[in-house]
A and B are shown apart, each in its own frame.
Chain A
Amino acid sequence: MIEGVLRAGTYEWEVPVGFVPNMRVPGRFFLSEDLGNTLEAGAVQQLANVATLPGIVKNALAMPDIHWGYGFPIGGVAAFDMTEGVISPGGVGFDINCGVRLVASPLTADDLAGTKRRLIEEIFQAVPTGVGARSSIRLSNKDLTGMMTDGTRWCVDHGYGMESDLAHSEEGGAMENADPDAVSAKARQRGLPQAGTLGAGNHFLEIQVVREILDPAAAAAMGITEGQVCFMIHCGSRGLGHQVCTDHLKVLEKATKKYGISLPDRQLACAPVDSPEGRSYFGAMACAANYAWANRQIIMHEVRRVLTTIFDVAYEDLKLVYDVAHNVAKYETHQVDGRQQEVCVHRKGATRAFGPGAPDIPQAYAAVGQPVIIPGSMGTSSYLLRGTEIAMNRSFGSTCHGAGRVLSRSQAKKEVTGKELREQLAKEGIYVRAHHDSVLAEEAPGAYKPSDEVVRVVDRVGLSTLVARLEPQGVIKG
């Protein structure tokens, strides 16, 4: 383990006050010995930096997929007091509400025999992907405002989904307090042609099969059965969200000086939660988050449409299990030192994991807790988990978000070529489609921590518990 970090439990580590100057609270992170070998000193330093921010409540936290980012570490979670605390785009990232959704179908693995390739090719045609992707949807500025304020609701009202989709998403697919006036003309200009596009980098769309049920009662509540075909969609708020982050970073840079906040990293630029600059960022961020939910909803609509043309399935039978955000800040109420306190929770590369009975969970999942969807790296298993009471008490209702990289993109490209990887996955029965093979290599499974080990740690600690394991059958890479 990195020098200066203290063991606090089997899977828990403490970064004591003093690790970097001006820490207000200790940092805490969850990691196994195995994953400890991949931990970067830069990530721990970034966690300690978060602990210096004004109004931080309890601890700066990181999940077992902790790794070196900018501002917050990836896998970072921190809650801030609503009066003393701050809000920072460095705790959310450029890709606001990058997230993932899981769609369950009535099909089984056998139904894919002989049609998998056609299915992937038709979805690839229907969903614009990669660098420079443009939407086939023509949006007016009024439509875009609707998307930014109403998220999934806008989509359902405009024929891109059904009423039951709304409840099966974090925040019902739209955050409150979205303020379109805080979104620049530049951000709008980028958002207009990109609605319903997957993007590039680590974004993907996968066909998966449920291979293992680990919690039969929770799986039943979520409508998941062994052998079932599912779809996983991973993407975010595209250029609109990137521009919102860029615009408000500039404003908050100035605000940091105005409010006399000293920072160890400029990317942590921030303002009091309840200041004009803080509220403006929150309002714009909520717009980008809602746009991201609309984006994933439109992509899901396209997948449903393709499925109904190829298979004998009805649109209504393709059910949204749940949709979670990975990069977002929220006003939430949590139990702090024995009393209920409203806080501004930042999750950067972390997933909300509310336990049974918590607010904002649909009736169907009230008894089992919120579904948590953890995508694997390309070609490896993804997992469905559920939120827990332990997460509510230990991590402001948060858990990990994915595997976390261990190799840089250029290192990954040296290990394997995109063509080799595509052929290797094809031998395992996984059909991969992308505009260019070169984009595959940097997302090779070997470039990531094993997702099995990351979810094992959150399951053991109890931040969320395993429900089902899904294996990829086909992948569309952004």
Chain B
Amino acid sequence: MTFEELYHTADVLVRVRGASINEVFADAARALFSVMYGDCEDGGIVQTLTLEADDRESLLHDFLSELLFITDVENVVFCSFDVEVRDGDLSVVMRGEPFEHEKHSGGTIVKGISYSGLQIVKDDETYEVDVLFDV
């Protein structure tokens, strides 16, 4: 795992680090699903998604928000993400399994992705971002 949970009393704050921007987006998505459902395996479900946004932070915010929508209406739990972030848009291939009450009920619902403190910074060769999930 290349994300860690930071201290936050009310909500869940995760710090994601990666060698590339694609990795940061993929791990932020994995963190989101880990908070919501715990463990997940590739169960043969494959979906793709493309998105546009004005800046990279908005792109990350919209990407994670879109995942919340998809998991809520389609009852799918994703565990891996091949993300390609470009200037102003992204495309992603997501893999996962159907939601099962017994297996996936140990986590908590993420209500939204906050813009608070959402800033992608690059230090030498590492990208880093803190993302706050409202739970």
Which residue numbers of A lie inside 8 Å of B, CB to CB? 40, 67-71, 74, 93-95, 130-132, 186, 189-190, 199-201, 239, 242-243, 245-246, 249-250, 253, 265-267, 269, 405-411, 435-436, 438-439, 442
A68-B10, A70-B134, A93-B134 given as contacts; is B114 within 8 A of A435 (CB)?
no
**Residue in chain A with minimal CB distance to B135:** A201
Interface-forming stretch among B24-32, B61-69, B83-91?
Answer: B61-69
Within B47-89, which residues are at the interface with A (CB < 8 Å)?
57-58, 62, 65, 68-69, 72-73, 75
**Residues of B contacting A199 with CB < 8 Å?**
109
Q: Is the CB of A69 within 8 A of B105?
A: no
Q: Is the CB of A186 within 8 A of B115?
A: no
**Residues of A contacting B65 with CB < 8 Å?**
246
Question: Can you add 6 more A-B contacts, CB < 8 Å, to A70-B11, A71-B114, A131-B37?
Answer: A186-B69, A201-B109, A239-B73, A245-B112, A265-B117, A266-B118
A267-B114, A267-B116 given as contacts; is B108 within 8 A of A131 (CB)?
yes
User: Pick the contact of B112 from A68, A246, A405 — CB < 8 Å?
Assistant: A246
30 A-B pairs (CB sep. < 8 Å): A68-B10, A69-B10, A70-B11, A70-B114, A70-B115, A70-B132, A94-B111, A94-B112, A130-B101, A131-B109, A132-B99, A189-B73, A201-B111, A239-B73, A243-B69, A246-B68, A246-B69, A249-B115, A250-B62, A253-B115, A265-B115, A265-B117, A266-B115, A266-B118, A267-B116, A269-B115, A408-B8, A409-B135, A410-B5, A436-B106
Chain B residues touching A, range: 35 or more
Q: Is the CB of A435 within 8 A of B11?
A: no
Q: What are the 8 A-B residue pairs with the smallest beta carbon separation, nearest first?
A: A94-B112, A266-B115, A70-B116, A94-B111, A70-B114, A267-B116, A438-B106, A200-B109
Q: Is B12 an interface residue (CB 8 A)?
A: yes
Which residue numbers of B lie inside 8 Å of A, CB to CB? 5, 7-12, 36-37, 57-58, 62, 65, 68-69, 72-73, 75, 99, 101, 104-109, 111-118, 132, 134-135
Residues of A contacting B: mostly: mixed
Q: Is the CB of B36 within 8 A of A131?
A: yes
Bound complex: CA A253 to CA B61 (Å): 12
Bound complex: CA A71 to CA B112 (Å): 13
User: Pick the contact of B9 from A186, A249, A265, A405 — CB < 8 Å?
Assistant: A405
Q: Is the CB of B104 within 8 A of A132?
A: yes
Q: How far is the CB of B116 from chain A (nearest CB, A)?
A: 4
Bound complex: CA A245 to CA B115 (Å): 12
Q: How far is the CB of A453 from chain B (nearest CB, A)?
A: 16
**Residues of A contacting B57 with CB < 8 Å?**
266
**Residues of A contacting B113 with CB < 8 Å?**
246
**Residues of B contacting A439 with CB < 8 Å?**
105-106, 108
Bound complex: CA A249 to CA B112 (Å): 11
A186-B69, A250-B62 given as contacts; is B9 within 8 A of A436 (CB)?
no
Q: How far is the CB of B105 from chain A (nearest CB, A)?
A: 4
User: Pick the contact of B75 from A40, A132, A200 — CB < 8 Å?
Assistant: A132
